[in-house]
Amino acid sequence: MNVWNCVINQDNQLISTPSSATEVTADRAVALGYFDGVHLGHQKIFSTMREKAAELGLRTAVQTFDNPPASKSQNSLITTYPERCGIVSAWGVDDLFALPFNERVKGMSAADFLNVCVKGWMHARVVVVGQDYRFGRGRAGDVTLLRDWGKKNGIEVVAVEPELFEGRRISSTWVRELIEDGDVEKVETLLDHPLAYTGFVEKGQQLGRKLGFPTANIRIEKQKMIPKFGVYASAYLYDGKLYHGLTNVGMRPTVNKDDDTPLTETMIFNEHFQLYGTRGTVFLLRFIRPEKHFGSIDELKEQMKKDQKEVWQYHTKRQKTVRFEGYM
């Protein structure tokens, strides 16, 4: 997949360079949006975009932003920009167009966004969006404006109906609510892939190792949603392979005195790796219990044994395959 990043100057001119060689002037079917989470509603848009591209012999393209809006700059993203790139690439998309979410882009009128970015930069012949898509300064642009512009410019506009689950429209907002509640099973259903946290394994107090439960500790990136603190059944991706895991997310109140940022601590079942300094991904599959403060290390150890038994039973009964395309 070719990734295009751009800078828009004060005259609303694009300065753009693809990250690799590509067909610069090729016509495209383009899916427009932010696509945080790449949930089933987003995937419906992608599928429609691919169908139109195949029908008309066009390149496929997805537009997103390479940084979050100010309102989403800390602890609010379901997927970071690199994660979104990975998932979109796994869809076999030809080109990804990444705009910076800065004051200049925020200040672009709806017409300038369409003419400068969609027509001039992306060479769109087909534009695919969700029915509630908004764009331009003050979110003034909508599907009606987009269709009118498309007719004037010979560009087909397709508005995709929302994807529903249990009678409710699937949205990134709904997914965030579920993450806050710890309902990662429903998150996995709406995303068609589990909630993931990626990073380098830190060397902590090594208390888990001393207690017989060695863990891989990965800090939550500051832009990512923080799930409900507690113990989860999980999967751990290491060196291209998935392993059954048990993960605690939170502040470790029984043993932590100084660290003020949340951590994921994952025990991998039946494996012993030297993971310090390696990069891994934790997928949260089921919430088991809330994080709590124990009166002693012995109490904590006993509870960890119970957690381990319950989580192992979950793994032995789970039939659904953990999808991890885009996180390799």
* Residue 85 confidence (pLDDT): 94
Cα dihedral 173, 177, 91, 162 sign: negative
CA-based nearest residue to 264, from 214, 201, 223, 218: 218
Name residues of the chain where pLDDT drops below 70.
Answer: 7-23, 69-74, 204-213, 252-260, 295
Phi, psi of 35 (to 5 degrees): 65, 40
Q: ∠ CA(191), CA(187), CA(91), 5° rounding?
A: 15
* Residue 271 confidence (pLDDT): 82
Alpha-carbon span 31 to 64, nearest angstrom: 9
Alpha-carbon span 77 to 2, nearest angstrom: 23
Domain map of the chain by residue range? 2-165, 183-317
Read off the DSSP letter of residue 122: T
* Residue 293 confidence (pLDDT): 79
CA-based nearest residue to 33, from 87, 77, 123, 99: 99
Give the class (CATH, top level) of 183-317. Answer: mainly beta
Helix axes 184-191, 172-181, angle to 10 degrees: 160
pTM (two decimals):
0.90
* Residue 196 confidence (pLDDT): 97
* Helix residue ranges per DSSP H, 129-265: 143-153, 172-181, 184-191, 207-210
Please report, rounded to a whole number, the percentage of residues in the chain having pLDDT higher than 70. Answer: 87
Neighbours of 5 (CB within 10 A): 15
Could you give the dihedral angle defined by the CA atoms of residues 96, 101, 104 and 107, in that order, rounded to the nearest 10 degrees? Answer: 110
Q: What's at 210, amino acid-wise?
A: K
In this structure, which topology does domain 2-165 adopt according to CATH? Rossmann fold (3.40.50)
* Residue 284 confidence (pLDDT): 98
Helix (H, G, I), strand (E, B) or coil at 222: coil
* Residue 81 confidence (pLDDT): 92
Strand stretches in 187-250, DSSP E: 195-200, 216-219, 230-238, 241-250
